[in-house]
Chains A and B, each alone.
Chain A
């Protein structure tokens, strides 16, 4: 039996988000088109994604529209995004995930393979805040440089 959205733990909500994200990316790869609806289901309308200011896609992205704008920017810079070796740390309304984040630059072909940590805040069964910590921001600046 599935628990209702309001009972789901932050980790459970984040896992649903990851599943939706994987489906989105697969659909895009297979068909060149994908629906954002499943991902939207896991996030609150006022979700905020904070990106370190010096990243090529730095700044805060607000709401579903902001999230989609960020996703478009990411895919204009990277043609490969892979997350491996995830470890989860959960407390209260937050879940921290530490992983290996592998990206390949669409612009210059360079590969970035670094650890990454992300704080995700969940309220009422929906993600309200993402704050990813990149290991080394200058490496991502170089990835976006021709």
Chain B
């Protein structure tokens, strides 16, 4: 049995990543591919101190969060990705490289993302940034 069959949440996350890559590659016009991988009641949580902080709910909330994020960061690259599945949750460990759009400052940081899956769709997403204070410094005009 493959790992994906043992851990069905992995297949969901893979579909989400593929849809996200396609969305970003196309310049972010059609959100329907990503929406198909999200539970209608999905929530993405962001630390309150960030410019895109707070809770973003549902498909429209998720799309709005992606736009708010893209207003702050460009040249986003995610490297060294490791996945830690357990039941309906996956934790992804990676390293992010990005450039702050308004200041041109480069920043990179370790990132953990906690995904909870419901009915084969992404239901909750909690990103743990290594140091939100460092991110704010890069974004500060």
Chain A interface residues (CB < 8 Å from chain B): 52-55, 58, 87-91, 94, 96, 98, 115-117, 119, 131, 133-139, 141
Judge whether B84 and A89 touch: CB under 8 Å: yes
Question: B residues 72-109 with Cβ under 8 Å of A?
Answer: 82, 84-86, 89-91, 93
Chain A residues with CB under 8 A of B112: 96, 98, 117, 119, 133
> Across the interface, do B49 and A88 meet the contact criterion of CB distance under 8 Å?
no
Task: State the Cβ distance, A141 to closest chain B Cβ, in Å.
Answer: 7
**Closest chain A residue, CB of each to CB of B47:** A136
Binding site for A on B (CB under 8 A): 47-49, 82, 84-86, 89-91, 93, 110, 112, 114, 126, 128-134, 136
The CA-CA distance from A96 to B110 in the complex, in Å, is: 14
Specify the main secondary structure of chain A where it touches its partner: strand
Chain A residues contacting B129 (CB-CB under 8 Å) are 133
A96-B131 in contact (CB<8A)? no
Q: Which of A53, A58, A133 has the most CB of B within 10 A?
A: A133
Assess the B49–A52 pair: CB atoms within 8 A: no
Q: Are A54 and B91 in contact (CB under 8 A)?
A: no
Measured CB to CB, the nearest residue on chain A to B114 is A98
Assembled-state Cα–Cα distance A134/B128 (Å): 7
